[in-house]
Structure 1
Amino acid sequence: MSYYEPRIFVEKIIDVGEEKILLNPRILFIRAFMAGAILAISAVFAITVGVQTGFPIVGAVLFPVGFCILYLMGFDLVTGMFVLAPLAWLDRRPDITLGGVTRTIATTFIGNFLGALLIAFLTSVIFTYGYTAEVSHVGEIIANIGKNRTVGYKEHGIGGMMTIFIRGALCNWMVSLGVVGAMISTSVSGKVIAMWMPIMLFFAMTFEHSVVNMYLFPTALMLGGDFSVLDYLIWNEIPVVLGNLVGGLALTGLPLFAVHLRSGALSKA
């Protein structure tokens, strides 16, 4: 069969979480760095396609290509780690500690950020011909995204903060479904289909993904976006990370764990 039953693939999810926690930190960092870089390329690709066609939905439809590539290459996003690592700890796997979970998430986060930051610098060079010309149209769009999704939230105060958090939670609900959904299938085509649907949905709905934002906002700042680093951290990245964590764990990881693993164990007791 090219399909795992839910109980089987939930056990597989926890196995993968355990494997990532026990992975050599240097290897984990490299995997995270490459994931951040590939997702950044995918983000600028989607924006470019939206600008070229005049239909942002086309960019959203194509954006998941980067996610599929990095997953099939065995690279790691912190948004997926928000689900995989805590479940291994909750399942009381031997040698899995809360400190190990925290270290794994932190290493992945830093790797993702540095990978995305590299692409931010490289594309900012492209958008300005090495900072010798006016910012290109795509670059202007990215700079405006940076302003609208920081200062734009800030103008609404607590309402804006709630909106960021909820968009982050809904985003990683979809993204984590893509991560675990890929484990349902044993075929490449099955994995790609399972990943493509929820990833396309989050991008089309302009939900907030912390790793995509690690590319968008530094790029916007490099291109003269009208907001500050502090605006980016307080009015986007930090609440988005928290929303991603809550959404992935509460809406994907814990329900799967409770329904398909814990319920099965209790029924056998």
Structure 2
Amino acid sequence: MSYLNPAEFVTKMIDAGEAKAFMSTRDTIIRAYMAGAILSLAAAFAVTITVQTGEPLLGAVLFPVGFCMLYLLGFDLLTGVFTLVPLALIDKRRGVTVRAVLRNWWLVFVGNFAGALTVAVMMACIFTFSFSMDPNEVGRQIGTIGESRTVGYADHGAAGMLTLFIRGVLCNWMVSTGVVGAMMATSVPGKVIAMWMPILVFFYLGFEHSIVNMYLFPSGLMLGGDFSIADYLLWNEIPTVIGNLVGGLTFVGLTLYATHARTGAARNAPALPEKVKVPAE
């Protein structure tokens, strides 16, 4: 078959989480770096399309190309390991500890950020002709995104923080669904289709993705956005990371694990009434 049933792909999710928990520091960093870089290029691509065409939907439709590429190449995003690695701990896989889970998350975070920052510097050079002129139209738009999604939240205080957190939750609900989609399909076209759909939803609806933001906000600071590093960390990155963790683990990892890896006992079917025999006359 070209796909796995739920019990099979949930087992695959747990196996993947276990493998990532034991992966070497070197491989974890390299894979996370490349994932952050490729997703950042996709974000720059989507913003460029949106600005040049005036059609946000078109940018959202094409953004998932980066997500598909990085997962087909076996690279890791923080949003994905938030969902997969804890399952190996919950399933009591031998040697998987809380420390191993936190180690994996930290290394992937560092690698993702380094890759995103690399692309942010490169794209800022392109948008400003190596910082020799003011940003072009796309560069100015990225600066505007940084302002609206930091100080824009801050202007609303606690309500803004809650909105930011919820957007982070919803984001990784969709993104982790895409990660699982890649596991349920066994063909490349099937994997791409299964990944494409939820990623399109998250990007078009403007949910908050911690790794995309690792590109957009440092890039925005380089391109003249009117916000600070503290604004970025407090009013975007930190709440987004927490929201991504809650969304992916709660609405994807734990729900799938609970119902397909630890399926509840089936209820007994009610006994059918016996047929009443009609005595022969």
Worse overlay, 148-157 or 126-135:
126-135
SS at match of 2:263: helix
SS at match of 1:263: coil
Give the drift of 1:148: 0.3
Matched residues in 1 for 2:91 and 2:20: separation?
Answer: 15
Aligned positions of 1:38-187 closer than 5 A: 38-187=38-187
Corresponding residue of 1:226:
226
SS at match of 2:207: coil
SS at match of 2:231: helix
Matched residues in 2 for 1:8 and 1:35: separation?
Answer: 26
The letter for the 2-side match of 1:85 is V
**Which 5+ residue runs of structure 1 have no aligned equivalent?**
none
The letter for the 1-side match of 2:133 is A
Matched residues in 2 for 1:105 and 1:26: separation?
Answer: 14
TM-score under structure 1 normalisation? 0.98
1:205 aligns with 2:205: yes
Aligned length: 266
Q: Which has the larger radius of gyration?
A: 2
Give the drift of 1:258: 0.4
Corresponding residue of 1:22:
22
Deviations 1:4-28 (A, max 9, x none): 0100100000000001111111111
Give the drift of 1:134: 1.2
**Which 5+ residue runs of structure 2 have no aligned equivalent?**
267-281
Identity %: 60
TM-score under structure 2 normalisation? 0.94
Corresponding residue of 2:263:
263
SS at match of 1:177: helix
Give the drift of 1:73: 0.4
Matched residues in 2 for 1:255 and 1:48: separation?
Answer: 37
Give the drift of 1:181: 1.1
The letter for the 1-side match of 2:204 is A
The letter for the 1-side match of 2:219 is T
- What is the RMSD of the two structures over their aligned residues, measured on CA atoms? 0.7
Runs of 4+ residues deviating >2 angstroms: none
1:243 aligns with 2:247: no
Give the drift of 1:52: 1.2
Matched residues in 1 for 2:252 and 2:9: separation?
Answer: 13
